[in-house]
């Protein structure tokens, strides 16, 4: 890694690249507007809801030592890319896994609408799941009705209230499968 890239990584985090100005002798080509600067690939935007932002910060800063257990259940942190903003968004969710893949339940407590992370995931299916210190780059997709029927019991074993959430809303709560590409 070049010194310039190391400085970029220190200043902007790992998701940064350093841009070089045009080489000597290329005067007749216009310089890119970012020439000579550091441009972040994606910027993280914390949740505007303070309890969520706090949970994510505690979880990530301790690799889940603080925040892995919530209300008696295990949690993960899901990272999506904003459908409109393009910014990284992080959400703590109940940990649902069969050992090969992760499942995200878009319940929002049985609310009439899907959570924002679900819309982000549909628009940008490349996601990251942090399970304590383990970080997994995965691809998300909505489970088919047959897959939902097959895997729903895994979700309710992790968080039994999912059945009550489904019963309290008219929408079909999506089960999202996150797996390796």
What dotted CATH number matches 50-179? 2.30.110.10
DSSP class of residue 119? H
pLDDT in tens, the chain (181 residues): 443 433 333 333 333 333 333 334 333 333 333 333 333 468 999 999 999 999 999 999 999 999 999 999 999 999 999 999 999 999 999 999 999 999 999 999 999 999 999 999 999 999 999 999 999 999 999 999 999 999 999 999 999 999 999 999 999 999 999 999 9
Closest to 141 in 3D by CA, of 116, 172, 174:
174
pLDDT attached to residue 27: 34
Closest to 121 in 3D by CA, of 79, 173, 167, 168:
79
Helix/strand/coil for 59: helix
pLDDT attached to residue 41: 61
Residue 69: what are its φ and ψ, rounded to 5°? -95, 130
d(CA 68, CA 1): 34
pLDDT attached to residue 42: 84
The distance from CA 84 to its chain's CA centroid, rounded to whole angstroms, is 15
pLDDT attached to residue 40: 44
pLDDT attached to residue 31: 37
3-class secondary structure per residue, 124-178: CCEEEEEECCEEEEEEEEECCHHHHHHHHHHHHHHCCHHHHHHHCCCCCCCEEEE
Every domain of the chain with CATH number 2.30.110.10 lies at: 50-179
Closest to 73 in 3D by CA, of 162, 159, 133:
159
């Amino acid at each position: 890694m070049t010194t310039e890239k190391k400085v970029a990584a220190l200043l902007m985090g790992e998701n940064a690249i350093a841009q070089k100005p045009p080489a000597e002798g290329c005067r007749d080509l216009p310089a890119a507007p970012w020439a000579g600067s550091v441009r972040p690939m994606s910027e993280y935007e914390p949740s505007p809801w303070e309890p969520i932002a706090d949970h994510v910060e505690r979880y990530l800063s301790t690799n889940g030592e603080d925040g892995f257990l919530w209300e008696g259940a295990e949690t993960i942190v899901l990272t999506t890319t904003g459908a409109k903003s393009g910014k990284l968004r992080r959400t703590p969710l109940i940990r649902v896994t069969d050992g090969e893949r992760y499942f995200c339940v878009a319940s929002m407590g049985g609310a009439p609408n899907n959570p924002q992370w679900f819309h982000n995931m549909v628009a940008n299916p490349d996601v990251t799941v942090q399970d304590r210190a383990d970080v997994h780059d995965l691809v998300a997709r909505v489970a088919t009705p047959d897959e939902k029927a097959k895997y729903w019991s895994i979700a309710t074993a992790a968080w039994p209230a999912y059945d009550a959430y489904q019963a309290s809303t008219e929408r079909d709560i999506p089960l999202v499968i996150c797996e390796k590409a």
